């Protein structure tokens, strides 16, 4: 019989010393860490890099890349020099404060340097997921009229310059034949390794991430430099980062986790960040853990489940003894996987909850607390959570309702790009409560149990997918008349994208057409958005009056089928 709770482990020395359970926490206590609290001059890139160099830690390893070819290392000092060179190139081409600079690069140090260089000169950085296809790239840059793009020559076939008229310059990390692109790596070589920091305000824009809801196209969530307060502190208390840690966050910066907990939080804490290029493979991942000597590891349930499925024999081939702290985010963490890690690695997996909009973790299993498998943990110090009913009144323990966070906290989004209405929609019960769109309940100890979404958003392998975007793409295919897209429960990925469609006259539905339609969405949007299942219906369920698609009905249909077949 397995224990229903797992005791705290011996780590967590920072939070243990600095926080007494149950006490209130004032985020202003964190300000002293930053140079701006004395100088009054703010910049995230400066606090991530220069602050450590100025404190005599320039020789400490900042980035450690394991991928194709030889491992690449940058110390904090080397990172400062390289970021400065890139910043100088960007400046020379007119990039400045408040400009939107999109970064479309693989998991490689260049991607990190590009982001930090843009931030150093006051630009707002928009990291794009490396798997995005042409239309996903175009839609995002066009939405906020991005002027600059830093990408790799090998990604250029997914950048349709003619259809992104706002773009002034494209910088590439590989010298190509096209003379209209600027080879940033080559130009940086001859630049000075010194560059002035563009000082900004805590409230100035830092990054923009496009994220899906259940309606319309992805929205641009803009965050401010003040985020560093909470990102630093959660890095310290939740990730339990200590200076000599070798830390690996497996997410690409195009997903907000890869930016906040892949770049900002670890660098603010002065640790070594491991970057691994390439796709998932259990063997390659274990290899990275061993080779880099990873101590703190932040990943997602789908990846853990995939590792679990590969079996213990493979795991045993590797020396994973350096690992001391494991965390998870993005989708429900099933108890099975927690027990798997506990039994095979002797470590608990610490679930964390947050959203693109929240800018940093809000609910987590901090190392000093008991874990209840099945729960995401409790609000972190300084955060208050409640479960509200449809009228906005708090519900008692064990009753499911809307997961709500009391405003405000240091890393809450600054705005939704040109969409005040969308921004306001997060506060339906007044400005005191931010409503996540998640359903949850609390137990008697205040542990939060995730129960699903209150809208139609799909979560496949932690990837947030808006059904509307997929439906719109599906009906662009000549064979598809109408489409309704839902998340179908899946043992490994949490959910998969399932489409219900009606077909135009003259088309024969079969394996071939299925593959063609799936590929169509994959090529235009991204692999994770392409339906893994497509089912043809005579007609789609709709509301009688307005003819609006009833995804709820499609979901019900799928659920009933699962019940009958299991």
Positions touching ligand PRX (CB under 6 A) are 211, 256-257, 329-332, 351-356, 376, 436-438, 450, 453, 459, 464
Cβ-based nearer residue to ligand PRX, 193 or 211? 211
CB neighbourhood size of 206 (10 A):
28
Q: Smallest gap, in angstroms, from Cβ of residue 359 to ligand PRX?
A: 9
Distance between CA atoms of residues 102 and 150, nearest Å: 6
148 vs 298, beta carbon nearer ligand PRX: 298
Element (H, E) at 360: none
Which residue's CB comes closest to ligand PRX? 356
Residue number, 110 or 255, with CB nearest to ligand PRX: 255
User: Which strand (E) or helix (H) includes residue 451?
Assistant: strand 448-453
Residue 142 phi, psi dihedral angles, 5° rounding: -65, -35
Nearer to ligand PRX, 428 or 478 (CB): 428
10 Å Cβ neighbour count for 242? 18
Least distance in angstroms from the C-beta of 112 to ligand PRX:
18
- Nearest to ligand PRX of 366, 376 (CB atom): 376
Cβ burial of 514 (10 Å; 0-12, 13-18, 19+) is middle
Nearer of residues 34 and 255 to ligand PRX, judged by Cβ: 255
As a whole number of angstroms, the distance between CA 28 and CA 229 comes to 9
* Nearest distance, CB of residue 451 and ligand PRX, angstroms: 9
Taking the least distance from each CB to ligand PRX, the nearer of 16 and 370 is 370
Q: For ligand PRX, give the closer residue by CB, 103 or 329.
A: 329
Kindly state the smallest distance separating residue 353's Cβ from ligand PRX, in Å.
4
- CA torsion sign for 537, 542, 548, 551 is negative
CB of 212 to ligand PRX, least distance (A): 8
Six-digit token string for 346: 């002797």
Between 36 and 450, name the residue whose CB sits nearer to ligand PRX. Answer: 450
Shortest distance, CB of residue 354 to ligand PRX, whole angstroms? Answer: 5
**Tokens describing residue 457:** 């958003």
- Of the pair 355, 479, the CB lying nearest ligand PRX is at 355
Q: Which long-range contacts (CB under 8 A, 24 or more apart) does 151-159 make?
A: 151/102, 151/103, 151/104, 151/105, 152/104, 152/105, 152/106, 152/110, 153/181, 155/104, 155/105, 155/130, 156/181, 158/104, 158/132, 158/133, 158/134, 159/104, 159/134
Least separation in angstroms between residue 177's CB and ligand PRX is: 37
Q: How far is the CB of 454 from ligand PRX (least distance, A)?
A: 10
Dig out the tokens for 116 from the structure.
């930090």
The position carrying tokens 């400009």 is 99
The least CB distance from residue 331 to ligand PRX, in Å, is 5
Closer Cβ to ligand PRX, 16 or 425, answer by number: 425
From the number of C-beta atoms within 10 Å of its C-beta (0-12, 13-18, 19+), residue 40 rates as exposed
CB of residue 280 to ligand PRX, shortest distance in Å: 18
| Tokens describing residue 451 | 């129960």
To ligand PRX, the closest distance from the beta carbon of 134 in angstroms equals 22
Nearest to 452 by CA among 535, 562, 350, 331: 331
The answer for residues whose C-beta is within 8 angstroms of residue 348's C-beta and 6 or more apart is: 6, 9, 326, 338, 341, 342, 365, 371
Of 182 and 380, nearer to ligand PRX (C-beta) is 380
Nearer to ligand PRX, 229 or 480 (CB): 229
Burial (CB < 10 A; 0-12, 13-18, 19+), residue 334, is middle
Residue in 100, 185, 210 with CA at minimum distance from that of residue 149: 100
Instruction: Let me know if 415 is exposed, middle or buried by CB neighbors in 10 A (0-12, 13-18, 19+).
Output: middle
Q: Shortest gap between Cβ of 355 and ligand PRX (angstroms)?
A: 4
Task: Identify which of residues 76 and 450 has a Cβ nearer to ligand PRX in the complex.
Answer: 450
Q: Nearest approach, Cβ of 186 to ligand PRX (angstroms)?
A: 35
CB of 377 to ligand PRX, least distance (A): 8
Give me the residues paired with residue 387 across strands: 403
Structure tokens at 288: 């990275």
Helix (H, G, I), strand (E, B) or coil at 463: strand
HEC profile for 480-532? EEEEEEEEEEECCCEEEEEEEEEECCCCCCCHHHHHHHHHHHHHHCCHHHCCC
List the one residue out of 59, 65, 122, 136 whose CA is nearest residue 94. 122
């Amino acid at each position: 019989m397995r224990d229903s709770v797992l005791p705290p482990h011996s780590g967590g020395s920072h939070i243990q010393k600095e926080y007494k359970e149950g006490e209130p926490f004032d985020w202003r206590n964190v300000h002293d860490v930053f140079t701006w609290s004395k100088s009054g001059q703010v910049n995230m890139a400066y606090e991530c890099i220069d602050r450590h160099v100025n404190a005599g830690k320039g020789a400490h390893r900042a980035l450690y890349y394991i991928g194709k070819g030889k491992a690449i290392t940058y110390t904090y000092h080397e990172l400062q020099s390289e970021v400065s060179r890139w910043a100088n190139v960007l400046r020379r081409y007119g990039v400045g404060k408040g400009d939107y600079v999109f970064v479309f690069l693989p998991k490689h140090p260049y991607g990190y340097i590009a982001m930090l260089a843009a931030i150093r000169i006051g630009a707002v950085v928009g990291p794009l997921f490396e798997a995005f296809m042409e239309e996903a790239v175009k839609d995002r840059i066009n939405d906020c009229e991005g002027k600059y793009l830093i990408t790799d020559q090998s990604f250029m076939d997914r950048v349709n310059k003619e259809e992104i008229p706002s773009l002034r310059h494209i910088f590439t990390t590989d010298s190509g034949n096209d003379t209209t692109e600027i080879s940033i790596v080559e130009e940086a070589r001859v630049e000075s390794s010194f560059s002035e920091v563009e000082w900004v305000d805590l409230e100035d824009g830092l990054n923009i991430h496009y994220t899906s809801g259940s309606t319309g196209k992805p929205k641009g969530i803009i965050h401010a430099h003040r985020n560093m307060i909470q990102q630093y502190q959660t890095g310290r208390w939740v990730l339990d980062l200590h200076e000599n840690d070798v830390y690996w966050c497996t997410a690409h910066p195009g997903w907000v986790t890869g930016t906040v907990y892949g770049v900002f939080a670890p660098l603010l804490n002065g640790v070594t960040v491991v970057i691994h290029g390439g796709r998932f493979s259990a063997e390659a991942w274990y290899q990275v853990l061993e080779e880099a000597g990873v101590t703190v590891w932040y990943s997602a349930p789908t990846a853990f489940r995939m590792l679990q499925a590969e079996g213990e024999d493979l795991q045993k081939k590797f020396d994973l003894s350096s690992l001391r702290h494991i965390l998870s985010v993005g989708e429900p963490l099933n108890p099975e996987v927690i027990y798997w890690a506990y039994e095979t690695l002797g470590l608990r997996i610490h679930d964390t909850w947050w959203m693109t909009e929240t800018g940093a973790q809000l609910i987590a299993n901090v190392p000093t607390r008991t874990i209840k498998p099945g729960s995401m943990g409790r609000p972190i110090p300084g955060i208050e959570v409640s479960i509200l009913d449809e009228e906005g009144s708090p519900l008692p323990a064990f009753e499911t309702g809307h997961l709500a966070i009391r405003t405000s906290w240091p890393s809450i989004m600054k705005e939704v790009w040109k969409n005040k209405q969308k921004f306001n929609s997060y506060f339906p019960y007044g400005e005191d409560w931010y409503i996540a769109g998640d359903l949850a309940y609390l137990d008697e100890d205040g542990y939060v149990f995730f129960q699903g979404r209150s809208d139609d958003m799909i979560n496949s392998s932690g990837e947030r997918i808006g059904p509307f975007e997929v439906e719109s793409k599906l009906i662009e295919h000549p064979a598809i008349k109408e489409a309704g897209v839902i998340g179908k429960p899946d043992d490994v990925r949490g959910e998969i994208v399932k489409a219900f469609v009606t077909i135009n006259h003259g088309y024969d539905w079969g394996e071939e057409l299925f593959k063609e339609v799936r590929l169509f969405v994959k090529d235009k949007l991204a692999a994770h958005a392409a339906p893994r299942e497509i089912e043809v219906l005579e007609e789609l369920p709709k509301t009688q009056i307005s003819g609006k698609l009833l995804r709820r009905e499609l979901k019900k249909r799928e659920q009933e089928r699962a019940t009958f077949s299991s």
